[in-house]
Amino acid sequence: MTKKKVLFVDDEANVLDGLRRMLRSMRKEFDLNFAESGKQALALMEGTTFDIIISDMRMPGIDGADLLIEVRRRSPHTIRVILTGQADDEALMRTVGGAHQVLAKPCDSKQLTEILRKSKALQDMMAHEPLREIISSIDTLPSLPSLYEKLQEMLKDPDVQLADIGKIIGGDVAMTAKVLQLVNSAFFGLFQKVDTPERAVSLLGLDTIKALVLGVQIFSEMQCRENRAFVDSLWSHCMTVGVLAKKIANEETDDESVIADAFLGGVLHDIGKLLLISNMASEYKKIRTMASEERISLYEAEKKTLNASHCEVGGYLLGLWGFQSAIVEAIAFHHQLDKFPVPRFSATLAIHLANRFFYELQSDEIDAELPALDETYIEECGLTDHLDRWRDICRRQLEQQEEEG
């Protein structure tokens, strides 16, 4: 297989020399390239396409944030990473939309190696020829929902207040009604009535509200009239998986970014199904029938019919939209952990578990085979003895939703 092309960008020659030495052992796996400025990086891009670009943030002329925004415009499938020693909010907000991932400097060889291997696995999946055929058969890929994009734009302002976010959501009457309906539902089990978007943001946090806004808008805008009942059921499933994945993550880690990614990734984990059913309704109906008749999972039926699955399709779309790598990975690998090269707890694993337990604990919700539980991967993570606890967490949440719903 062709080696993935990686470009490192930093204006300090000694930093690039250090990277060359640090990653010398990786040359058998990657084609490593180096540029001393944003301008030189863009010049190199004129003659070749890079699979991964890792750039310093602070550089004279074209800095890292501006460089990656331009890379996204020219080559949206390139995985983009920022290295920064800046901890201030303004610097970090400038990376929103441009970078898939932000790493703090100094970055050790183990962390860089992990980033490169995870990026390679994702790129290999997205380069799968059957996936390209599916994508090319879709007339127009949907754009990132406008209200979510507006929220992301607001977050680039370091002085933005939670109340400002609430007002933006409140300006859309239909969105306000749907978000408040969800916030007051059994999904969240709040013990008080929430009657304004501002209050919802205050109680649940910005990450949760953003995920709800994005999910609501995606499921509203992708039209699937022939399969409305299936799509409504899919939305309920995705919301529940998001809640379950977040609860598992809360139990397993204190890392707020992993917990937030588990919820957002859970809400979006089946976006590939939505895209497929929106654009090939009759063929997808046959796939669902095959799963039911042959007693195989829907994922397996997709693989048999399309030689690709909703995982790759969803990951492709979110990568195109510029989501951070952790979210793209969660969508792309939640049914195929054997292809995910880092055996440890992550949002991807939380969603894999939540999706399995949703169906396992509610067998009436599925008329095909249960999605597989990758016990080999879980054992490699050293977490086999956590399975019963995770299952109980999901059981209690589902029982609570049933009682309150």
Please report the pLDDT score of residue 405 as a whole number.
60
pLDDT in tens, 276-304: 988 888 899 899 999 989 999 999 999 99
Does the structure show a pLDDT above 90 at 202? no
Please report the pLDDT score of residue 38 as a whole number.
94
Q: Which long-range contacts (CB under 8 A, 24 or more apart) does 220-224 make?
A: 220/174, 220/178, 221/142, 221/145, 222/142, 222/274, 222/275, 222/278, 223/278, 224/274, 224/277, 224/278, 224/281
pLDDT in tens, 34-82: 999 999 999 999 989 898 999 998 899 998 888 998 998 888 878 888 8
Q: What single-letter amino acid sits at 326?
A: A
Q: Looking at residues 363-376, what average pLDDT do you find?
A: 82
Dihedral sign computed on CA atoms, order 165, 88, 36, 118: negative
Alpha carbon distance 328, 335 (integer Å): 13
| Whether CATH 3.40.50.720 fits 4-127 | no
Please report the pLDDT score of residue 372 as a whole number.
92
Does the structure show a pLDDT above 70 at 93? no
The string of DSSP codes covering 8-24 is EE-S-HHHHHHHHHHTG
If you average pLDDT over each of 112-126, 212-226, 303-317, 363-377, which comes out highest? 303-317
192 falls in which pLDDT band (50, 70, 90)?
confident
H or E element at residue 56 = strand 52-56
Structure tokens at 34: 């180096």
CB atoms near residue 235 (< 10 Å): 18
pLDDT in tens, 298-356: 999 999 999 889 999 998 888 878 788 889 999 999 999 999 888 999 999 999 999 99
Name the residue with higher pLDDT: 104 or 268: 268
Does the structure show a pLDDT above 70 at 139? no
Q: Regarding beta strands 4-9 and 101-104, do their DSSP bridges make them parallel or antiparallel, or are they unpaired?
A: unpaired
Please report the pLDDT score of residue 223 as a whole number.
63
Do 4-127 and 136-404 agree at the fold level? no
Phi, psi dihedrals of residue 32, rounded to the nearest 5°: -90, 130
Q: Regarding beta strands 30-35 and 79-84, do their DSSP bridges make them parallel or antiparallel, or are they unpaired?
A: unpaired
Please report the pLDDT score of residue 94 as a whole number.
62
Q: What is the CATH number of domain 136-404?
A: 1.10.3210.10
Looking from the CA of 97 toward its CB, the CA atoms found within 13 Å total 16
Q: Which long-range contacts (CB under 8 A, 24 or more apart) does 376-381 make?
A: 376/338, 377/337, 377/338, 377/340, 377/343, 377/349, 378/349, 380/343, 381/343, 381/344, 381/345, 381/349
Please report the pLDDT score of residue 110 as a whole number.
83
Please report the pLDDT score of residue 298 as a whole number.
92
H or E element at residue 101 = strand 101-104
CA angle 321, 200, 173 (to 5 degrees): 70
Could you tell me the residue ranges of all domains in the chain? Answer: 4-127, 136-404
Give first-to-last CA distance, the chain, whole Å: 51
